[in-house]
Chains A and B, each alone.
Chain A
Amino acid sequence: MIKTIAFAIFAGLLLVLPLAAGDYYVNLASQILIAAIFALSLNLLVGYGGMTSLGHASFLGVAAYACALLSGRYGLGHGPAALISVAGTTLMAALFGLIALRATGLGFLMITLALSQVLWGLAYRMSNVTNGDNGLSGLTRPAPFGIPLDNAASFYWFALIVFAVAFVLMAVFVSSSFGSSLKGVRDQPRRMAALGFNPWMIRWITFIYAGFWGGVSGLLYVYYNKYIHPTSLSTTSSAEALLSVIAGGSGTLGGPVVGATLVMLLKNYASAYVERWNMLLGLVFLFIVLVMPTGIIPGLRKLASRKKGASQ
């Protein structure tokens, strides 16, 4: 009951944020929402599937580039451009899954890393298409149902709606009976196979689904920035999301959201004061791992249950 009320208040606050806060904060909140969708999609692999990927930026980057090229260079409308880029990214996830899932564990991690490096290299070198290190600029935001998203508040609400849909659909996915199959395959793959589950297929479907949401976050990313650069495909971009998932608590729904918030806040605030903000991020991460090895959300949960036990 208290949980529901707290959640309702939190959701209400998120909804009215642009009425109370300035553009700077609203924009920061939009970036957090985008990073959170991206981290949530990675968490499907890392937390629920036991597949640690260091190449998830591939899906964000490719969807962003595809959308930028289709709507910017080839003059496609925003609707078709968005559809084609997300569909294409999902298809690419299916293909990447076929390659990466030939291995598990460290092998899987290395293959995802290698694949994303190939894309990053392409974005840099195929400058006739991607404009190389200069990136693609001069992009516009869509106007769904005739509502322009050019001011901070309207874009924030748009991102909030997409985030809510993404969060709910991913929550449904992991708590479904397929989600139970996935968690089973994460914990005891051999046993699951003996029980009649197809571990490979379960992992592959999850990989594709995660790629799809990675693509959706890429769309929002390029809409927000109206610009795309090869760094969005880099290992740093993948690692940042992985950091968010692990710091917040992998295999929990709230964890990636908390983690992404933390990383974005550090990135935005700390970088204003400390030049090497990555170092600060590293220290914060180290602190979390030492104090709460399973992440912030599971750590807080444990703390709460200990308090409850002590008061009884």
Chain B
Amino acid sequence: MTAPSSEYALEIINLQKAFGGLPVTQNVSLTIRPGERRLIIGPNGAGKTTLFNQITGDLKPNSGQVRLFGTDVTTFTPFRRAHHGLSRTYQIITLFNGDTLEHNVTLGLLGLRPSRWNMWRPLSFYGDLATEARRTLDRVGLLHLSEHPISEIAYGEKRRVELAMALAQKPRVLLLDEPLAGLSNTERSTVKALIAAIPRQTAVIMIEHDMDTALDLAETVTLLNYGKVIVDGQRDAVIADQRTREVYLGT
């Protein structure tokens, strides 16, 4: 990894994507600094998750570039991007249902280590992975459930496992896709505190509809509509912008 140094953690340059005749990402350019807190908003179908999927490599853009810390990763597979410090959570919970919470988080750790290829040592042999996994579960307040399978825990707890799995990887860029979706008020404030506590080495990009909670976490905001960047800048400036009111917040 001889990454050319860059002042940006993530750069998106003139990204274009269409599904058939339907443009879903239109000439999107964004820059995110290391440690930045960015909120991405926009009405349903604005292309927010599609943009995430192009950043992670799940979708290939028709044209344009994605750069991580100066490295052009546009042609990289998702797993290669993960090794460049990119991590994400999913809007729809994507966990390993039959496995314990500890095993879930351990997989997050294993993914970045060479031991994932080891064919004779059992996973339990790597005590440091288990310790680290439990420490991360403690961080999100789920240590007491670490031996339970995912299928036995509540929805709000699953949301926190999603977060723990990504946090365990100590990413440099973390994409959160609606981390508060479907949570009760109490759960919201728990998860909000967890996101606020993410170390500053990590740039966080978040899609979220709960403006009351999300705006507190954000420093910068990007408004998308019909796959285009409508407004982009400091939080207060974007909120005050006339176009934001028209497209998203309503008057």
Contact = CB atoms under 8 A, between A and B. Distances in A.
A175 interface: yes
Contact of A193 (B77, B90, B120): B77
A176 B122 contact: yes
Contacts of A199: 79
Nearest to B57: A193
Contacts of B112: 195-196
Interface stretch (A139-147, A177-185, A284-292): A177-185
Interface string B19-31: 0000000000000
A197 B111 contact: yes
Given A177-B115, A178-B116, A195-B82, A190 B94 contact: yes
A192 B116 CA distance: 11
Contacts of A197: 79, 110-111, 116
A178 B119 contact: yes
Interface in A166-188: 172-173, 175-181, 184, 187-188
Given A177-B126, A184-B96, A195 B108 contact: yes
A270 B79 CA distance: 51
Nearest to A209: B119
A19 interface: no
Interface residues of A, number: 22
B88 to A, nearest CB: 6
Contacts of A179: 119, 122-123
Most interface-central of A177, A180, A191, A199 (chain B CB within 10 A): A177
A310 interface: no
Given A177-B126, A178-B116, A192 B88 contact: no
B97 A195 contact: no
A196 to B, nearest CB: 3
B141 interface: no
A20 interface: no
A194 B123 CA distance: 20
A180 B94 contact: no
Interface of B: 56, 58, 77-79, 82-83, 87-88, 90, 94-98, 103, 106-108, 110-112, 115-123, 125-126, 165, 169
Interface of A: 172-173, 175-181, 184, 187-188, 190-199
8 contacts: A177-B126, A178-B117, A179-B122, A192-B107, A194-B56, A194-B88, A195-B107, A196-B116
